[in-house]
Amino acid sequence: MKDKKLFRGIRTSVALVMALMLFMSLKQQDKPVLYIIGDSTVQNNDGNGKNDYWGWGSLLYPYLDTNGVAIRNHAKSGTSTRTFILDGRWDKILATLKKGDFVIMQFGHNDHAGVDDSTKQKGSLLGISDSTREIISIRTHQKEMVHTYGWYIQKFITEAKAKGAIPIVCSLVPRNKWDKGEVVKEAEYPEWAEAEAKKNGAYYINLNRIIARHWKELGQVEVKKFFPGDGTHTSINGAQLNAGCVIEGLKLLTDCPLQRYLK
């Protein structure tokens, strides 16, 4: 008799534990997700610090309450707005993106690459117009219609909003390029990103100029220490500064729901 009662007690305890695990699993699924998309300046390789290169997305975690919001860094080295879509990375996010999630994006460096070269074909057309160029893709050997940087940014924004998610556009981080004591802006990518964000109802962080302001305060000699190999990819210290600048920009977006998860 005692054995039967003991067995029933164990069975009840197991059932309670399983119910609790199911509840916690459902709670995790309900939690909003912050999806981060971009290039190697956002996540280099797999966020493992290879070659001493780090992207800011890998260092954003300490600034956010991960009990309230999950973080998924999908940024990938070498991608542009165009190739992030062509390689299926955006479709993978759309498959799980839900109402209340966030998408923070930062592209531009690889958009400046070749559009129809014979090796990589990363680039998008300059600007935010509806201009297009038809090429033969080296991926599929079929015709591909290439659009402007602004067109692809708009696609990310509108498709994220269609899922009920909240898009946040960042201008590209600056390279370590200076002219007469000022940090070079890199074409008009910050203005193009801002224009698309405003036109399509997304939040905008001028990350390029926030970082440039901090760099100018530090000076060229100190900033150079952030770049172990080239003028684009930062060390962990440079990426930490960039991540802090993302948070600085988020704090300026006074009505952005992501603010409630800032530590």
Taking the domains of the chain in order of start, what are their residue ranges? 1-30, 32-261
Provide the pLDDT for residue 102. Answer: 98
Encoding tokens for residue 101?
A: 């999630």
User: In terms of C-beta density within 10 A (0-12 exposed, 13-18 middle, 19 or more buried), how is residue 116 classed?
Assistant: middle
* 21 phi, psi to nearest 5 deg: -65, -40
Tell me the CATH class for 32-261: alpha beta
pLDDT band of 7, cuts 50, 70, 90: low
pLDDT band of 29, cuts 50, 70, 90: low
User: In terms of C-beta density within 10 A (0-12 exposed, 13-18 middle, 19 or more buried), how is residue 112 classed?
Assistant: middle
Separation CA 220–CA 235 (nearest Å): 15
Question: What DSSP character marks residue 127?
Answer: S
Helices 207-218, 189-199: inter-axial angle, 10-degree rounding:
140
pLDDT, average across residues 57-69: 97
What would the pLDDT profile of 82-99 be if each residue is shown by its tens digit? 999 999 999 999 999 999
- 38: helix, strand or coil: strand
One-letter amino acid for residue 133 of the chain: R
Provide the pLDDT for residue 16. Answer: 43
pLDDT band of 45, cuts 50, 70, 90: confident
- 171: helix, strand or coil: coil
pTM: 0.87
Pick from 9-23, 106-120, 159-173, 207-221: least confident: 9-23
User: Taking the CA of residue 158 as centre, how many other CA atoms within 13 Å lie in the half-sphere pointing to its CB?
Assistant: 9
What would the pLDDT profile of 168-204 be if each residue is shown by its tens digit? 999 999 999 999 999 999 889 999 999 999 999 999 9
